[in-house]
Amino acid sequence: MVREDPAAAGSFRTPAESGLLPRADPCLRHSLSVLRTYRDADHQRRLFRKLGEHVAKATLAPEHGRAKPTPTERAPSHTTWWPYPGVVREALFSMVRGEA
């Protein structure tokens, strides 16, 4: 989920980069949550409106960083992504118009 259309760099900042969650697990503070299905993204978008009203998609490759499936009951396709330094994250994503 992203706030802007088109997606902007601010939508792809980790909590550590944003100065958020200082007491959280340091490893997770340097990661981003991504969802592998539109269904999960749309569900989370409806639950957590403050995260953004738009859905953006990308095909992440090994050169973009490390990723680990971290499913939850509400979001079975949840994945934790640690982008590599220098990756222009917003350039990887395009906006989804309707179900993808």
Residue 98 scores a pLDDT above 80: no
Average pLDDT score over residue span 21-45: 95
Domain count across the chain: 1
Structural domain contains residue 100: no
Structural domain contains residue 32: yes
Structural domain contains residue 66: yes
pTM score: 0.90
Structural domain contains residue 26: yes
Structural domain contains residue 45: yes
User: In which band, very low, low, confident or very high, does the pLDDT at 51 lie, cut at 50, 70 and 90?
Assistant: confident
pLDDT score of 97: 82
pLDDT score of 36: 97
pLDDT score of 99: 64
Strand ranges inside the chain, DSSP E: 32-35, 56-57, 65-69, 78-83, 94-95
- What number of other Cβ atoms are within 10 A of residue 38's Cβ? 16
Q: What residue has token string 């222009």?
A: 88
Residue 98 CA to residue 41 CA, distance in Å, equals 12
Domain that holds residue 34: 9-95
Structural domain contains residue 2: no
Residue 35 CA to residue 46 CA, distance in Å, equals 14
